[in-house]
């Protein structure tokens, strides 16, 4: 008998089949309804919404702090400064001399909150984070 070294055809076929199975599983993990790419896009959208809501609430808290410090009325210049800070992702509106409402713009329009300095104590209703 000769001493033969090398790989058999059966071993090569089995190796190729195993590699194909691994490739199929990897592709299924990347794509699909619950794949990594889909979940990444969902996380990106959730992060954008949370950023807008957080920005709205930060501005509302600044207005609330001003109201607690004694500012009882607001004017258009004050609202304009708030709008500058919101960078177009939300807009502040002076609904009365004592109340400022901030609402998200575009696809974020369902997120809103307000500060009312006419009440005692001052009322704040922050925008709710999505669940």
What distance in Å separates the CA atoms of residue 106 and residue 111, rounded to the nearest whole number?
Answer: 10
**Percentage with pLDDT > 70 across the chain:** 98
For residues 20-44, average pLDDT: 89
Is pLDDT above 90 for 34? no
Query: What pLDDT is attached to residue 21?
Result: 95
What distance in Å separates the CA atoms of residue 125 and residue 131, rounded to the nearest whole number?
Answer: 17
Does the pTM exceed 0.95?
A: no
CA distances to 67, 77, 108, 114 from 92, in Å: 16, 11, 14, 9
pLDDT-derived band at 97 (thresholds 50, 70, 90) equals: confident
The domains of the chain are located at 50-125
Q: Tens of pLDDT along 46-94?
A: 999 999 999 999 999 999 999 999 888 899 999 999 999 998 999 999 9
Is pLDDT above 70 for 1? no
């Amino acid at each position: 008998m000769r001493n033969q070294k090398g790989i058999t055809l059966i071993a090569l076929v089995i190796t190729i089949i195993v590699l194909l199975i691994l490739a199929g599983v990897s592709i299924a993990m990347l794509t699909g309804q619950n794949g990594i790419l889909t979940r990444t896009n969902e996380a990106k959208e959730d992060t954008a919404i949370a950023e807008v809501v957080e920005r709205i609430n930060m501005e509302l808290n600044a207005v609330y702090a001003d109201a607690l410090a004694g500012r009882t009325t607001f004017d258009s210049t004050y609202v304009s400064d708030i709008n500058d800070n919101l960078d177009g992702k939300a807009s502040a509106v002076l609904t009365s001399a004592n109340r400022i409402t901030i609402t998200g713009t575009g696809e974020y329009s369902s997120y809103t909150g307000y500060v009312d300095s006419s009440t005692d104590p001052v009322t704040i209703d922050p925008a709710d984070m999505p669940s």
